[in-house]
Amino acid sequence: MKKKGIAVYPGSFDPVTNGHIDVIKRAIRLFDRVIVAVIENPTKKTLFSVDERMEMLRAVTRGLSGVVVSHFDRLLVDYMKKKKASIIIRGLRAVSDFEYEFQMALTNRKLAPDIETVFLMPAEAYTYLSSSIVKEVVRLNGSVKGFVPRQIEARLIRKLLTK
């Protein structure tokens, strides 16, 4: 299959999980370049700063050819036009994700009819996984081995359990 174009995989990535990494690897097989775009939303409380999230993403995607890490603080479709990207990548874990993602895809289509949304499912092992669940497990002193890369687990522990 011939790869085509630039895709953007937007998200908060607070923190990046193995499910996110799986979707990135799937996307890079389909597109020439995948921009992993960290959402900078001042109204949303995040554990890690935008810079920290970008640093973690760069660390875990190092060696993946065609992956670029960036951030944005505006309407996604405007950011995509600036980056000359035509595809939005969204991960679908479970049926519960579908309604919200479908609504967002249709809204983006209305705002920018030339931009398409592509849904990718992570490996079955990650379909239950979310950044929120990962943070909660760490807060309760549980192991997130296999949920996030080791260096991300260490950062989570330092951030959540070291006071």
> Which domain covers residue 38, as residue numbers?
6-161
Task: Check whether 1 has a pLDDT greater than 70.
Answer: no
Average pLDDT over residues 141-151: 92
Q: Is 44 a catalytic residue?
A: yes
Instruction: Please tell me the pTM assigned to this model.
Output: 0.93
Q: Compute CA distances 106 → 99, 110, 113, whole Å.
A: 11, 6, 9
- 74-120 pLDDT, tens digit per residue, is 999 999 999 999 999 999 987 777 888 999 999 999 999 999 999 99
Task: Check whether 149 has a pLDDT greater than 80.
Answer: yes
Of 25, 81, 83, 93, the catalytic one is 93
Residue 144 lies in a domain: yes
Q: Is 143 a catalytic residue?
A: no
- Contact between residue 23 and residue 9 where contact means Cβ atoms under 8 Å apart: yes
Position 41 confidence tier, pLDDT thresholds 50, 70, 90: confident
What are the E-state strand segments in 14-77? 33-39, 67-72
> What is the reported pLDDT for 76?
96
How many structural domains is the chain composed of? 1
Q: Is 93 a catalytic residue?
A: yes
What CATH number is associated with residue 63? 3.40.50.620
Of 12, 131, 135, 155, the catalytic one is 131
